[in-house]
Amino acid sequence: MGRALCSPNVSMTLKGERNMLNKKTVDDLKDLQGKKVLVRCDFNVPLKEGVIQNYNRIDGAIPTIKKLLDQGAKVILCSHLGKPKGEPVPEMSLAPVAPALSERLGVEVKFVDDPKVTGPETQKVAAELKDGEVLLLQNTRYRIEETKYGKDDNAESYAKELADLCDGIFVNDAFGTAHRAHCSNVGVTKYTNTNVVGYLMEKEIKFLGQAVENPVRPFVAILGGAKVSDKINVINNLLDKVDTLIIGGGMAYTFEKAQGEEIGNSLCEEDKLDYALEMIKKAEEKGVKLLLPVDHVEGKEFSNDTERKVVDVIDAGWSGFDIGPKTIALYKAALEGAKTVVWNGPMGVFEFSNFAEGTLEVCRAVADLQDATTVIGGGDSVNAVKRLGFADKMTHISTGGGASLEFLEGKELPGVAAADNK
């Protein structure tokens, strides 16, 4: 079972020693009675015919909102949902989120279906909020300016309109958008006096940051997924930090081909072959174990029911869709005794049950680690861990796919950087 990190401060380094993150959190807010507080949440939930399919993101926001309500604040919530591209698209309305929040908070969450998000009616409801009341704004991306911050004068006005709804206090609890500088997470901070991170954001920074920058060793990173190009900077950054780097998924075949292996019709990025060799060389120079598959489960067609077999070398006309049993054993052995594990990306086409074994077994090995910090970094690896039923065995599951990747690359996240330092 993964153990919690015990550091009380959210403090670590990004980009080497360049930028220490030690941000103010909701716990640093005082005297909130009667104050209007704007909170950027991540309510980008999956909807089907207006019905929410997964409540994880809503549940994740509740502790921060409750903390503010307990202090007598008037809480104004904002979020995007999907990509409406500046149009009031009905199927991307945040309306279904309001009753879900009401149920969980035990207070009515007001909602204004305002295509302008910050229009006169929204301003009126915000101004009339009483202590302990909650207002949810319409989808921030109904305004084209939301994603244009820093590139458009109108975006500046929109950021100010959002800030004007509150009493100068802003809480950013949306890690999923922290890698983007938008009006509702970065622009707004220019017009508010106090900018802090919420509990969800704090948790993300703490676990991802401490895992990568101050790991208990041995530190093992597992990278999978389809493309090397998605993970170029991650591989490069992690090779400076880890003891072992395990590579699986479609991206492994680019590494295999770079070393002269036959890969049949497997996924391969021809323009990344030199890069793969560079990374293998860098690992050698750094004394990092870089592990690649030694056998494969190959298939004829991209389908669950296709003919399949286990091979050491992929046959011409076939494609590798999962790591084989020898590789599973190799990767599990490499994980034994690990004290910090960061995992991003599946080992194969885990959506197909016949090609899910590699991901399942690696997942099980990570879940079974004793006294280790295990961090699952967004996207498909999160889906895999949840689908396979191991979510409660991991120390931390990141809520942000793109944000966690950029974090692992060592990039500064604008949404985090915009919060006040302690």
| Residues involved in catalysis | 57, 227, 379, 402
Residue 189 backbone class (left: φ over 0; alpha: ψ -120 to 50; beta: rest): alpha
For residue 392, count CB atoms less than 10 angstroms from its CB and return exposed for 0-12, middle for 13-18, buried for 19 or more: exposed
| DSSP code per residue over 123-180 | HHHHHTPPTT-EEE---GGGSGGGGGTTT-HHHHHHHHHHHHTTTSEEEE--GGGTTS
Q: Is 381 helix (H, G, I), strand (E, B) or coil?
A: helix
Look at residues 201, 200, 283 and name the one whose alpha carbon lies nearest to residue 235.
283
Euclidean distance between CA atoms 10 and 41, whole angstroms:
19
DSSP code, position 140? G
Euclidean distance between CA atoms 203 and 79, whole angstroms:
19
Q: Is 194 helix (H, G, I), strand (E, B) or coil?
A: strand
Look at residues 295, 395, 270, 271 and name the one whose alpha carbon lies nearest to residue 348.
295
Euclidean distance between CA atoms 82 and 57, whole angstroms:
14
Euclidean distance between CA atoms 118 and 160, whole angstroms:
10
> What is the maximum span of the chain, computed from C-alpha positions, in angstroms?
70
Instruction: Give the pair of three-digit tokens for residue 75.
Output: 């809480």
Q: Is 135 helix (H, G, I), strand (E, B) or coil?
A: strand
Contact 336, 213 (CB under 8 A): no
